[in-house]
Structures are given as C-alpha cells and as structure tokens.
Structure 1
Amino acid sequence: MDFSADSRYIQVSTGAYKRQVHEVPLGKQITDPAAIEKITWATWTSILGDEVLGIWPRNADKADVNCACVTHAGLNIVTGDDFGLVKLFDFPCTEKFAKHKRYFGHSAHVTNIRFSHDDKYAVSTGGDDCSVFVWRCL
C-alpha cells in the first residue's frame, strides 16, 4: 500500500493482480486513468501500473515479479522476482522490457525489497533461502 504525497489517496495491488486507487478516508475507488495519472505518490511499492510496465520480463507470468520499491529520490526502482534476482531500473519504467541491472544472490524467490531511508542500501528478503541481503547502491 502506498500513500499519495498529500495523503489523499492510497494505491494497493490486489491478489488478483489489479491496481486500485482509493480516496482517503472515504475509501471511494478512483477509476479515471486521467485522475490517477495526476497523483504524485509519496512511496511506490506496487508491481502494477503504467509507471512500472517495463519491469516485466518477456513471457513473464503475473506471479514472477514479487516486490518493488522506488527510491525516496524517485529515480530508480528495484524489484525482486521468483528467480532469485534483484533488478534495478530507472523510474518511471514505462517501456516494455526496459534495460536494467541484475544482481544474483538469493537461491529462489525474493519475497520483499526496500530502500534504506537515504537510498544508499536496498534490503531484500528471500523465501526458501530464509536470508536477508543488504545491497549497497552506488
């Protein structure tokens, strides 16, 4: 779940792989794409949306990309996937199959990833390997 910069909206990714945007505190769903496009997000952890279209590899299943996080500066997005990869993209990432850097370490799926408060590190958690990796961002 992510809040907008003005805390008037939240975005969530559902288990059915749908992105939903709601007004706060009413909970009314916003469905107008033009209205959603105008919202500035304080954080971005969604794997869904036009802003992250390029994080999806060719022939990807909806469940292949598990997690994402945009830097506090809003310049990069990092993802974790079912293949144990951590990938770093420019943000927004709107072109399909965008260029990225790949980092190996986890033995299987990456369950979550976040940037540190100063964007100097990314922290990822693994599923089957039960590990926590700290990645230095240069």
Structure 2
Amino acid sequence: MDFSADGKHIQVSTSTYARQVHEVPSGKMVTEAALVERITWATWTSILGDEVLGIWPRNADKADVNCACVSRAGLNLVTGDDSGLVKLFDFPCSEKFARHKRYSGHSAHVTNARFACDDKFVVSAGGSDRSLFVWKCQ
C-alpha cells in the first residue's frame, strides 16, 4: 500500500493483479484515469501501473515479479523476481522491456526489496534461501 504525497489517496495491488486507488479516509475507489495520473505518490511499492510497465520481462507471468520499490529520490526502481534476481531500473519505467542492471545471488525467488533511507543501498529478502542481501547502488 502506498500513500499519495498529500495523504489523500492510497494505491494497492490486489491478489488478482489489479491496481486500485482509493480516497482517504472515505475509501471510495478512484476510477477516473486522468485523476490517477495527476497523483504524486509519497512511496511506490506496486508492481502494477503504467509507471512500472517496463519491469516485466518477455513472456513473464504476472506472478514472476514479486516486489518493487521506488527510491526516496524517485529516480530508481528496484524489483525482485522468481528467478532470484534483483533488478535496478530508472524510474519511471514505462517502456516495455526497459533496460536495467541485474544482480544475482539469491538461490530462488526474491520476496521483497527496499531502498535504505539514503538510497545508496538496497536490501533484498530471499524466500527459499532465507537470506537478506545488502546491495550497493551504483
């Protein structure tokens, strides 16, 4: 779940791979695309949306990318996937099959990845390998 910068909206990704935006505190769903496009997000952890379209590899299943996180400065996006890869993209990442840097180390799926408070490091959590990796962003 992510809050808008003004605290008036949240975005969530559902279990059916749909992105939903809701008003706070009413919970009313925002369906007008033009309004959603104008929202500035304080955080971004969604794997869905036009802003992250480029994270999906060719022939990917929707369950292949497990997590995403935009840096606090809003310049980079990190993802973790079922292949055990941590990928670093420019943000926004709206072109299909966007260029990225790939980092391997996890033995299987990456369950989560987040930028550290200064955006200089990424912490990723592995599923089957039960490990935490700290990556230096370059």
Bin for the TM-score computed over the shorter chain: over 0.9
After superposition, residues 35-114 of structure 1 pair within 5 angstroms as 35-114=35-114
1:125 aligns with 2:107: no
Using structure 1 for the length normalisation, give the TM-score. 0.99
Separation of aligned partners in 2, 1:26 and 1:117: 31
2:30 maps to what in 1?
30
Residues 7-46 of structure 1, C-alpha deviation per residue, up to 9 Å, x if partnerless? 0000000000000000000000001110000000000000
Separation of aligned partners in 2, 1:102 and 1:114: 15
Residues 78-128 of structure 1, C-alpha deviation per residue, up to 9 Å, x if partnerless? 000000000000000000000000000000000000001110110000000
Separation of aligned partners in 2, 1:102 and 1:81: 11
Instruction: Give unmatched runs, 5+ long, in structure 2.
Output: none
Which one-letter code corresponds to 1:21 in the other structure? V
SS of residue paired to 2:60: coil
CA-atom RMSD in angstroms: 0.4
Task: State how many pairs are aligned.
Answer: 138
Tell me the CA shift for residue 53 of structure 1. 0.2
Where in structure 1 do 4 or more consecutive aligned residues deviate above 3 Å?
none
Taking only the aligned residue pairs, the percentage that are identical comes to 77
Separation of aligned partners in 2, 1:137 and 1:60: 25
Tell me the CA shift for residue 51 of structure 1. 0.2
1:7 maps to what in 2?
7
Separation of aligned partners in 1, 2:114 and 2:2: 13
